[in-house]
Amino acid sequence: MKVQVRWLLAVAGLAAPALLQAWPVEEALFPRLPFADQCDSIAAIPLRQHVNYNLDIQPIWSTRCANCHVDWGKFPSADLDLNPPNSWFFLYNEPSSQDNSLIRVVPNRPLQSLLFTKLNCEVNDVGVRMPRDRQPIPIAEQALVHDWILAGAPEVDDDTIFRARFETRG
């Protein structure tokens, strides 16, 4: 009996790493970092602990992304609909329509989120800086998008009371 149990454990021990490797979870949880260069520094903007998607983030889209992702003609650019009330669902954990190894918004990871690098950097993994053919959005708004993603990109309000590890920007 004892010997049989030992055999079972040995087989399970051998099989476990192979099974884990075959599991694609890790890839889905940690999408690749989008390539980005010539990014603006947001270090001077104080960190926002509470970001409300509907009050703080949606107005940025409605003001600055019009005609392309908001109030478009036939269809939204890059299949990215930023009109309320749909916009959050087109961003959160959604793959890029141009390269599905990139994710538009990776909760808690602004630098892995294509949305942020497209707003923050001149040179991007896919396409050009957003908003296309317009001035970059103000640094304070870039920081707000960053802090919203850092807080987990909540759909409505981030009710975090205090997160010590978010005290300063990393």
Site of interaction with ligand HEC (CB under 6 A): 61, 64-65, 68-69, 77-78, 80, 96-98, 104, 114-115, 118-119, 126-128, 130-134, 137
Contact indicator for 83, 91 with CB cutoff of 8 Å: no
* Minimum CB–partner distance for residue 86 and ligand HEC (Å): 14
**Cβ nearer to ligand HEC, comparing 145 with 151:** 145
**Cβ nearer to ligand HEC, comparing 75 with 162:** 75
**Cβ nearer to ligand HEC, comparing 70 with 151:** 70
DSSP-derived pairing of the beta strands 121-124 and 36-39: antiparallel
* Minimum CB–partner distance for residue 169 and ligand HEC (Å): 21
97's CB contacts (< 8 A; 6+ apart) are 78, 79, 80
**Cβ nearer to ligand HEC, comparing 45 with 126:** 126
144's CB contacts (< 8 A; 6+ apart) are 48, 51, 56, 57, 60
**Cβ nearer to ligand HEC, comparing 99 with 157:** 99
* Minimum CB–partner distance for residue 162 and ligand HEC (Å): 29
The residue of the chain with the least Cβ separation from ligand HEC equals 127
**b/e per residue 132-154 (b: at least 16 CB within 10 A):** eeeebbeeebbbbbbbbbbbebb
* Minimum CB–partner distance for residue 22 and ligand HEC (Å): 28
* Minimum CB–partner distance for residue 46 and ligand HEC (Å): 22
